[in-house]
A and B are shown apart, each in its own frame.
Chain A
Amino acid sequence: MADLAERETTDDTEATPRWRRRLGSLLRWETMLVLLLLATIAYGASVSPYFLEWTNLFFIGLNVGEIAIIALPLTLIIITGEIDLSVASMLGLTGLCMAELFDHGWPIWPAMIAAVLLGGVLGAFNGLLVTRIGLPSLAVTIGTLTLYRGIAQGVLPTDTISGFPQGLASIGVIPIPHTHISYSVLFFLVLAVVFGIVLHATPLGRAIFAIGANQEAAFYSGIRVRRIKFWLFVLSGLMCGFAGVLWTLRFASARYDSGIGLELFVVTVVLLGGVSIFGGRGTIVGVVLAVAVLGCLQTAMTADVIPAQDQNIVVGGLLLASVIVPNSREMYGRARTRLRSVGARRHAAVAAREEGS
């Protein structure tokens, strides 16, 4: 954020036309997200008269709470230039672990803590393979995506575990007293503030950006690249464990395929939030806005009676758009240089022909 402010002041000193500067600030990613959010709300309001009621805020939050919580650590991981595709499988397996322990007579609170800790262990396994053996995180987390989901399927192939204490399971049906906010959104907002401060205002956050911008340079300037990456993967696991607990309580049941395919939504939220897939760039504010966009969009589409698989088309399209649009300026530049070089060649050919004649 700080460097953005600086950039704006330097812009003032340059002799750029005022309209162009205004346009530039308008074209900032976060501004576009706000516009997109307003458009989504308008769409929601047009399909359902209840969309703008306060109670709807609760349902919007309920739909994206877990996705949003997982998106925070994934944001940091993507900023360092890595990826974690196993988040949905970790969510499923930790939720299942909590349910299994509860089913075997554990009290609910220790079972929940065990699930979160299991998430940490799963994340640590990812982190070890990436940082100690030096494997690409893409391949590792495709592997653990399959492995963790497979373990869940092996442990509980066909059954559903339910029967959690009513008091806890009700967090999926009632908002926080006297508000319209779901519990998961409250946790998300608190965590978002913490993540925002850590990422944008501490040495650790700067180290994370530095790793993403240039890993080798970061290493030689004394940043513990491997250690930071390892703990980010652990953090991702812990958050997935936490989201797994919330998910299980929200649906008041656990199955092996809980949250399957959720990685699409999480990755979409992070990249839609303006985090560069190449690492080194991104803000927590953007991710929070993207969460709001996705939440409103999902709820609006559901109100519009659009079936789940069609919603996946829209979200998949959103994912593609959010990686293509930031690259569009470069694409335009490349196309222009190519056209120019073709034009120059043609000019040269014409000139040569004229000379010859």
Chain B
Amino acid sequence: MTSLAEEPAVVDRRSSSHAFAEFLARFRELGIVLALVIVVGAATLDNHLFLSAANIQQILAGSAIIALLAIGETIVIITRNVDLSIGSILGISAYATGVLYVHHPNVALPVVFLLAFAIGAVCGAMNGLIVTVARVPSLVVTLGTLYIIRGIDGAWAGGNQVNASMLPDSFNKIGYATVLGIPYLGWIAIIAVALATYAMRSFRTARDFYAIGSDPAAARLAGIPVGSRVFLAFVLSGAIAGVTGALWLSLYASVDAIAGVGYEFQVIAAVVVGGVAIFGGSGTVLGAALGALLLYTINTALVVVNVSSFWSMALSGALLLAAIAFDRLIALRLAPAMRTRRTARG
């Protein structure tokens, strides 16, 4: 499925059997867009203000945060690992950014983002080191660091809060300003997804991620430095979560010790809904970002159609389960077709 989704060349010379598999492989992005249209349409019928510029901007800015986190999580999941600590990394980086502004109100923007990046990268490196050196399942490691990082954040922040009045306007502007009607955050996410999509298709290192996720043992035998690649994946995921923490602060303009609690589950749901295989080795950043957009849009739509927003958590869990079950059933259906095609080719 990966190779099909990844090779545009196949599209040109597709036969009928190719077309079917191709359709299923492309189905995910298409399906998400279709689902988005349905959700937006239904919500707009219920309340025409759903398609107002202000609401669309709010959705784009909010889903940008999830989409950015989803890029890092996608990379980690493609290597057949999982990073549960991103919510905590986002939280501690957001709080650090706030504290930096409280103590040095005139600090330059690049310094702020460099700090956020560094905090995230250090946390990610910690995860990556333990996973690769001790060869412990990433699930357990990141479950531990999820609570460790959150605990450090809580001990540091205590009951304190940094709010909008303590932040300079140049920083807050990132959260609310727009260019061509699209919020800054939306642009940042679009550019990041475009860059990541290109990198994941073309860079050798990124192709190694797919190889490791498809079959770690085979990747090792093929001479891929599995350890350092997995380490890199965790550092990237952490660094992205760190930078997203600073952006999160610019959007919500206030931060305390519980910023970003539970984000990891929303992000994993978005990634899996976006067609990234939970077994690793397959999936695209674009799909994950679209998954994030869909999830956030549904959550906003729930409020519009007067379903309590308290159901949003149940919804992301249900979507996650539906997505992995769907993927599995499609894979089971597709397996015989793939096999016959391979023999026909060979």
A residues apposed to B, CB below 8 Å? 83, 85, 129, 133-136, 138-140, 142-151, 153-154, 157, 261, 263-264, 267, 271, 277-278, 307, 309-313, 315-317, 319-320, 323-324, 327-328, 330-331
Contacts and interface: CB of A to CB of B under 8 A. Distances in A.
A317 B144 contact: yes
B23 interface: no
What secondary structure prevails in chain A residues at the interface with B? helix
B279 interface: yes
Interface in B267-300: 268-269, 272, 278-279
Interface residues on B, range: 35 or more
A320 B130 contact: yes
Contacts of B320: 139, 142-143, 146-147
Q: Which 9 A-B pairs have the closest CB atoms?
A: A150-B314, A147-B317, A146-B317, A309-B154, A150-B313, A313-B151, A316-B148, A157-B310, A316-B147
Contacts of A324: 130, 134, 136
Contacts of B269: 143, 146
Given A147-B320, A149-B317, 16 more contacts: A133-B325, A139-B278, A143-B320, A149-B313, A150-B313, A277-B140, A278-B137, A309-B154, A309-B155, A310-B154, A312-B154, A313-B151, A316-B144, A316-B148, A317-B148, A327-B136
What secondary structure prevails in chain B residues at the interface with A? helix
A143 B264 CA distance: 11
Contacts of B154: 307, 309-310, 312
Given A309-B150, A327-B134, A134 B268 contact: no
Q: Which one of A278, A317, A323, A331 has the highest number of Cβ atoms from chain B below 10 Å of its Cβ?
A: A323
B155 A307 contact: yes
B135 interface: yes
B321 interface: yes
Given A139-B272, A309-B150, A323-B140, A148 B317 contact: yes
Q: Which one of A134, A263, A330 has the highest number of Cβ atoms from chain B below 10 Å of its Cβ?
A: A134
Interface of B: 82, 130, 133-137, 139-141, 143-148, 150-155, 257, 265, 268-269, 272, 278-279, 308, 310-318, 320-321, 324-325, 328-329
Contact of A323 (B134, B148, B308, B325): B134
Nearest to B318: A147
A134 B328 contact: yes
B128 to A, nearest CB: 13
